[in-house]
Structure 1
Amino acid sequence: MVDAFDVALFSFVLALLAADWGLGPAERGLLGSANSLGMAVGALLAGHIADRWGRRLVFMGTLLLFSLGTMLSALALGFGMMLAFRFFIGLGLGGELPIAATYVSETAPPRERARAVVMAESFWAIGWLLAALLAHFIMAGHGWRAGLLLGGLPALLILYARRNLPESKAFLHLKTDRRKGRDGGGWDRAADGRPTADAGAVSAGQLFDPEHRRGTVTLWTLWWAINFAYYGMFLWLPSLMMARGFDVVQSFEYVLWMTVAQLPGYLSAAWLIERIGRRPVLAFYLLGTAVAAYGFGQASSIAALLGFGAALNFFNLGAWGALYAYTPELYPTALRARGAGTAAAIGRLGAIVAPYAVGWLLGRGFTQAGVFWLFVTVLLLAVVTLLLLGPETKSRATRGEA
């Protein structure tokens, strides 16, 4: 929830900064990209640390990092200072997200694992909704600094609530195995029962071992594509609404109504994912996002904008939930956090490129319809990769092997 609150809040801040500091499209895109660059670095570091020293340490440290960064960014005096703060915030946010999904995946019962991850991710929708409410009722009248000061408070409260959070049992078992010189457990054994990996010798290179290669290529493609589409579309959404002639209050109000569709998107994905599997649910929601992106880019009426905007929120966030459930199940315990963190880091490369690319294209006369065709193409590429290469993990998770 607090992760989404920060990301969503800055999409509204970005629209106000443009007017306050006279920022052009390229500069606004660069601010979004700086945050994503920090998230890429944070995800890589967090995955390594979580597999070596535990999930709980990363869970707590990253939350503190981006909550303080959000509050301090309210004091930014200019573009360069805000750019640095957004990178700093990204370090914490990027490390938090994949490790949170890994932690939930390792602590939930096998038959409920995917649903538990998607339900946990559904609170992203609550964070977006709270940010939209704050923007509509506070920031529209009191400015972006007030929004950022308030934005860091929920994270500090959650940090206090997490103080007694136990370590993942899967990681504790892995730690015990390492001390005894055994393999990492989970499903990383050959058919004859011999261990395929020494828990003390796990490296990022094992992500491309024969048993992991297809899954890794699939995940990297999916994470890159969904980040590109999400951060390209959603960070710009309030600004795009203002560019269509709506004032600040109208734009924030319309985005608020679109945001309401995120929660049913998550809940429907959570309901479907244990019934029909991870891969078909993920493909369906990615295709739905592509159709909604095309419709939003072509929309010429308020009704169409709101309808396709709501569909964007519904399908894109449902796809995010399914992806977070799918990712940890593709790797054994000893490699899980690193696999998830590396995939998230690759995804952030898409998030780095997208906001700046949108600003660059708009600054050179491209229409919103033309920009949204780019998102459609990327999403369709992700669906094709998933269907051709992606393994299904539902049966593995049900047997408690993931």
Structure 2
Amino acid sequence: MSDGRIFDRENIGQGRKVTGRSLFISTSFGFFIWGIVADLGPSSLSWPFLSEISIHLKVFLLICAPIGTLIGNVLIGALADSVGRKRTFLITMLSYAIGIIIVSMSTGYWLFVTGLFIAGFGVGGEEAPSLSLIAEDTPVSERSRNLTLAPNFNNAGSAFTAALLMISPFIGIYEDRIFLLISAFTVILYLVYARLRMPESFRWLNLKGRSAEARTISNDLGIDGLETRIREPNRRFSFAVLAAMGISQYLTFGLMAFIIEPFEFGNTAYLPISLVALVGATIAGFVAVPLISKGRKNYTLFAYGGGFVSMVVILFSAAYLGNMFIFMPLLFLNMFFSEFAWASRTNLEPELFATQNRSTMIGLVRIFPMVAYIFSIFLTSGFGLEYSLVYNSALWALGLAAAVLWFIRGTETRNISADFIVDLPPGSNEPE
């Protein structure tokens, strides 16, 4: 009898490892694909059939993927609250697979931007379900780590694309794009395998009345103890603060890492600048893990405060930024704080909304930064360098103000259950 019990415990422990690993890998690799798509538009401006296009076509190319990402966030985010987090990945994986094929094979402008839009829709659609799934299927003690590290693969994916396209002149554009296609599909095929083994959100299953299935998954994941539950924080206040933080972080990162160089420095310098920014952000994601695990409020204030100060330093150094030995280290530092702010968002967005509308609310919050980003690409295309830096400084000031407000009035979500105490409509199921 004792041997049987030991054998059962070993199997359960192994099951927890496999299930948790599949969840982390599937979401991380999904963000990696998003990073590839995010950098494809800006990096492709050095390709021969795109390098001589007009400023208007250049701006349109730069906004195609963000528009697709915006639509995917909203539509798939809402769908994930209705049909489940896992099922939506069938739509998203198919979308970005088709989009990447079109981008890799196209030789004309309009087919290329169509591929960018489709791929953007797919990767955008994964954001809200992925963050919801991580928050709901991860033990409280590990949640901040996974909500920080998995989205950080976005930076790694963009850095991979920037590095790959930087060597295009040496290996040839055609060979470069084929390698990009093979690399992306290798990741996608592994994603399919991991997602077949990945669990559905047991908290979402509980709400749908599938408590036996939910209990099995929660046991497999090792989430079988008591959790500290509180009432859902004020939704309007959370939404407003998160929208302001999102506008600040999303725009300052995108404009500094992807947009400012093609408009202000020229395409030939673009890829090294992008690569430095993305490597800095990727490293910062790992540094952020122990910091944010100590508490969200102090960390968020530090992230946006550091971002604002580093941006002001860049602004006052504007006259010297033509020297890459000055600009690159300052950009690297600023991207560190931008990633810290990104980690704050990827933790707080799923932690501040209830399970029954978590994915929908994440998608809705992101409307504001994404629309503002698209508008800002148009706006800053006519700015000079100094005005662009002033604009970025003002955006960081907005984020800092939101962080201060959150520090004063916000809810600390460290060690708090992802299941809030809420007033459910008749017929709904209270999480067990």
Name the CA shift for 1:217/1:152 in 2 (closer, same or farther; >3 Å).
same
1:97 Cα shift?
1.7
1:289 corresponds to which of 295, 307, 310: 307
Query: Unmatched 5+ residue regions in structure 1?
Result: 179-185, 191-195, 197-209
Is 1:46–2:73 an aligned residue pair? no
Name the CA shift for 1:52/1:268 in 2 (closer, same or farther; >3 Å).
same
Paired amino acid for 1:311: L
Q: What do the CA deviations read for 1:138-195 (whole angstroms, capped 9, x no partner)?
A: 46642278435346324422332322211111111111179xxxxxxx99987xxxxx
Residue equivalent to 1:211: 234
Q: Contact 1:229 / 1:379 at 8 angstroms: preserved in 2?
A: yes
Name the CA shift for 1:304/1:48 in 2 (closer, same or farther; >3 Å).
same
Q: Contact 2:264 / 2:385 at 8 angstroms: preserved in 1?
A: no
Residue equivalent to 2:257: 234
Is 1:80–2:98 an aligned residue pair? no
The residue correspondences of 1:103-118 to structure 2 (distance < 5 A) are 103-118=133-148
Q: Contact 1:9 / 1:151 at 8 angstroms: preserved in 2?
A: no
Say what the alpha-carbon RMSD is for the aligned residues: 2.9
Give the secondary-structure state (helix, strand or coil) at the position aligned to 1:176.
coil
2:202 corresponds to which of 169, 172, 188: 169
Give the secondary-structure state (helix, strand or coil) at the position aligned to 1:394.
coil
Residue equivalent to 2:188: 156
Q: Contact 1:67 / 1:155 at 8 angstroms: preserved in 2?
A: no
Residue equivalent to 1:126: 156
Q: Contact 1:294 / 1:369 at 8 angstroms: preserved in 2?
A: no
Name the CA shift for 1:46/1:126 in 2 (closer, same or farther; >3 Å).
same
The residue correspondences of 1:237-386 to structure 2 (distance < 5 A) are 239=262, 242-243=265-266, 248=268, 251-275=270-294, 277-296=295-314, 298=318, 299-359=321-381, 361=382, 366-386=383-403
Q: CA–CA distance in 2 between the matches of 1:396 and 1:285?
A: 17
Number of aligned residue pairs: 367
Q: Contact 1:34 / 1:83 at 8 angstroms: preserved in 2?
A: yes
Residue equivalent to 2:427: none
Name the CA shift for 1:289/1:258 in 2 (closer, same or farther; >3 Å).
same
* TM-score in terms of structure 2 length: 0.76
1:54 Cα shift?
0.4
Paired amino acid for 1:101: L
Query: Unmatched 5+ residue regions in structure 2?
Result: 1-31, 212-226, 421-432
Q: What do the CA deviations read for 1:321-378 (whole angstroms, capped 9, x no partner)?
A: 221111011111111111111112332112222222222x1xxxx3212112111101
Q: CA–CA distance in 2 between the matches of 1:22 and 1:82?
A: 15
The answer to which of 82-91 and 317-326 deviates more is 82-91
- The higher radius of gyration belongs to 2
1:251 Cα shift?
4.4
Give the secondary-structure state (helix, strand or coil) at the position aligned to 1:328.
helix
